[in-house]
Amino acid sequence: MDAVYAAQRHIYDVTRKYYLLGRDRLIEELAPPPGGSVLEVGCGTARNLIAAARRWPDARFFGVDISEAMLATARAKVAKAGLSDRIMLAQGDATAFDPQTLFGVAAFDRVFASYTLSMIPDWLGAIAQAAQVLAPGGVLHIVDFGQQERMPRWWRTMLFAWLAHFHVTPRRELPVALRHVSRTNDQTFGFETLLRGYAWAGTIRA
């Protein structure tokens, strides 16, 4: 991933804001409890963490990403935003990270993954891991590309072909995976489509 993002990380936020739709809606719905902990899986440049920290000033924020190149950009952005005391970043695999080792935190009140599952090969493992680190009463929020099910066929064909150039694969089985993981952990799940299927959103509640 470092090779992929070595150059892209410098223009990532500017280019992605036009098509990573639903991110700000997710941030608005986080609503962590006062003093609560929030983890972003696949935090990238920390764009979402910075926005969430500003929206929810009473919470503590954490981000994990496998790309050290992206984290270098993220750390610089967090420092520039004056949020280094509220946002902690660490390198780790979304499918197998230990939050206690990385952050000194055993579990989180909120966990979210924004347009990351479509880039993680073992995306099922990433969902399972995120659900495992939820504190009692915690919520996992996910938003990612949908199947464009209510879009014209030409749009879907064009978008999927374009995304493939960036190693992005919308996860058709996302609702099934959410149901499976939630049942395995005795949790509950929710799912909805956004913008005519352009994006899909899901939750798992501990």
Q: What is the CATH number of the domain that holds 10?
A: 3.40.50.150
The C-alpha atoms of residue 161 and residue 108 are separated, in whole angstroms, by: 36
Cα-only R_g, the chain? 16
**Nearest to 44, CA basis, from 107, 103, 2:** 2
- Check the CA dihedral 42-44-47-53 and report its sign: positive
Structure tokens at 27: 């941030």
The DSSP output letter for 10 is T
DSSP state string for 47-64: HHHHHHHHH-TTSEEEEE
Mind listing the pLDDT tens digit for each residue in 34-54?
A: 999 999 999 999 999 999 999
Contact call for residues 70 and 44 (beta carbons, < 8 A): yes
**Nearest to 43, CA basis, from 5, 82, 85, 3:** 5
CA distances 121 to 27, 37, 126, 127, Å, are: 25, 27, 9, 12
Q: Which residue is listed with tokens 């995120």? A: 130
Domain range holding 173? 2-205
Structure tokens at 129: 């891991």
**Nearest to 85, CA basis, from 112, 64, 60:** 60
Mind listing the pLDDT tens digit for each residue in 73-91?
A: 999 999 999 999 999 999 9
Assign 30 to helix, strand or coil.
helix
Q: How far is CA 1 from the centre of its chain?
A: 16
* Per-residue pLDDT at 19: 53
Q: What integer is the mean pLDDT of 42-68?
A: 97
Mind listing the pLDDT tens digit for each residue in 120-134?
A: 999 999 999 999 999
> Which of 8-22, 36-50, 52-66 comes out lowest in average pLDDT?
8-22
Contact call for residues 1 and 66 (beta carbons, < 8 A): yes
- How sure is the predictor about 9, in pLDDT bands with cuts at 50, 70 and 90? very low
CA distances 162 to 88, 158, 166, 195, 197, Å, are: 33, 6, 7, 19, 17
- How sure is the predictor about 20, in pLDDT bands with cuts at 50, 70 and 90? confident
Number of domains in the chain: 1
* H/E segment holding residue 122: none
